[in-house]
Amino acid sequence: MEKQPAKINYFFGRCYDDLWRTIKNGFSRLGETLSDEFEGLTDTWGDLIDDFGFGRLLLTLIKTAYYVACLLSTLFITTSLLAVLSAAHILIVALIMALIYLGFSLLWLSDTALCRLRKIGSSCPQCQYKFALPYYQCPGCGVVHTKLKPSKYGILKRQCNCGRKLPTTFFNGRQKLTAICPKCGYELKGNGFLVNISIPVLGGPSSGKTCYVNMAIRELEQLAQNQLDFNYEHIEQGTDYLNDNLREMEQGRLPQKTSEMRLMYYEFFFSPKKSKVRNEISLCDVGGEVYGVGTGMDEQVGYNFANGFLMVIDPLSIPTFRDQLMAEAGMDEAAIAEFHPSEMPISEIMGMLIKLLENMRNLSSKQRITQKLAVVFVKGDLPLIDEKIGETAVKNQLAADVKTTRFEVQNKLCEQFLLENDQADFINTVKSRFDNVQYFTCSALGHVVDGSAFTPEGVADPILWLIDKASPTLNFKKYWSAR
């Protein structure tokens, strides 16, 4: 573990020094005594040689007997006693250490297991990286602790060099400290005890991503309160335009075109009221031009860390459907222009994503992408959509075949629609590369600009589906069965 700005815990450092020092002192004293006694013996005989006499000889013999007795007792009795006491000392310390290490291991294990099982982790809206343990700042001196977990610096708590005691696990409040991104130093607004679910939103320029993301978040907030018994809270990271966009859209005005060519993180907490771990949902919007060629999409690691992908499809970006609208629904160019059609072909966008993930993950062209994909037809208020793939079509099919589920019907209708409109390539690519794909139809605005407030339809479902699939603990069974 890299060096931390904290004091090493007594039992992991000084405890060994103290033990070693005590034993060393004992034996070095023993050495001194032995050498004193030996010196006494040699001195006596030295004195006798210098000044010989029978009286002195007698005294020398008595002294010799004394020193030999001393030497023998020191050598055998004291040494054994010292060895036994040292061994007892080592044993007692080892026993205490074993208990401490056991406690330490259990705590470390449960903290780590909790993180792994619940998929605890944060994502950084600035550099797009994801990590299990952020850096934490000492509230006393501001110094950053890079690995605040049970370690030699402390088991439940550690003492920062400034003297402040810091908790080292989720169980005793580590998450209340200020968390910092280990990659770029960004101060994270969520507190680290989170499950992050990040969902990049794909779609060409003017396909409807920004309208969709903002309206979907608004709808999720309402669902949280009215139907799901969830807590919703927008995280003010300063990386999104949620408040501005919603204010505009509530007045019946359109959000601005997204000029950012980097993923913009719209983040919010979205968790059952009683749950301790909070879900942090990140919907990532971006200027649609990024899905064109040579735009630096490959620098954005956020795609690699995604838990699911949401691709919006503007039906107007499919040329045959545009023709059909003109032929069958009597739309002219001016009427189509009111929907601000997207021009980028959907296969091109999907191709870009797959190529990007292959490069980032070293995948072969046969390997699959495990994250779930929601394909969402937006601008559902266009003529013909409701009867072909929208709510009316779904309800008719469900009534005709009671055995199928809503999800199956949605997939069937949308795939059929794409096939009829020469998009077999798209369907095949998606099927061959993604493990789990679900189609949806919705309308973020409900109508073209006419001065009145917009009326979104069905925008929450795709995100709920992706969250449901990505989260180990959440499921929206009740919600789906009520649909």
Which of Mg ion, Zn ion, ligand GTP, none has residue 340 at its interface (CB below 5 to 8 Å by kind)? Answer: ligand GTP
Name which of 123 and 245 has its Cβ closer to ligand GTP: 245
The alpha helices in 232-345, defined as continuous H runs, are 242-250, 319-328, 333-337
Of 6, 70, 120, 124, the one binding Zn ion by CB under 5 A: 124
Contact between 381 and ligand GTP per CB under 6 A:
yes
Q: How far is the CB of 259 from ligand GTP (least distance, A)?
A: 8
Pairing of strands 278-285, 264-272: antiparallel
Residues numbered 2 to 41 that lie near ligand GTP (CB under 6 A) are: none
**Residues near Mg ion, by CB under 5 A:** 209-210, 258
- 460-470 vs 209-223: helix axis angle to the nearest 10? 70
Contact between 164 and Zn ion per CB under 5 A:
yes
The neighbour count for residue 81, using CB atoms within 10 Å, is 12
Of 192, 288, 302, 390, the one binding ligand GTP by CB under 6 A: 288
Q: How far is the CB of 213 from ligand GTP (least distance, A)?
A: 8
Contact between 141 and Zn ion per CB under 5 A:
yes
Amino acid at 462: P
Nearest 5 degrees, angle CA 334-CA 335-CA 337? 65
The binding track of 217-256 with respect to ligand GTP, each residue x by CB under 6 A or -, is -------------------------------------xx-
R_g over Cα of the chain:
37
Q: Phi/psi at 440 (nearest 5 deg)?
A: -140, 160
Q: How far is the CB of 464 from Zn ion (least distance, A)?
A: 28
Nearest 5 degrees, angle CA 414-CA 419-CA 425? 105
Tokens of 457: 């339809």
Of 88, 113, 117, 162, the one binding Zn ion by CB under 5 A: 162
Which residues are CB-contacts of 283 (< 8 A; sequence separation ≥ 6)? 199, 201, 213, 216, 217, 265, 266, 267, 310, 463
The binding track of 183-222 with respect to Zn ion, each residue x by CB under 5 A or -, is xx-x------------------------------------
Residues numbered 322 to 361 that lie near ligand GTP (CB under 6 A) are: 339-340
Evaluate whether 86 touches 439 at the Cβ level (below 8 Å): no
Name which of 134 and 308 has its Cβ closer to Zn ion: 134
Binding site for ligand GTP (CB under 6 A): 203, 205-211, 254-255, 257-258, 287-288, 339-340, 378-379, 381, 443-445, 447-448
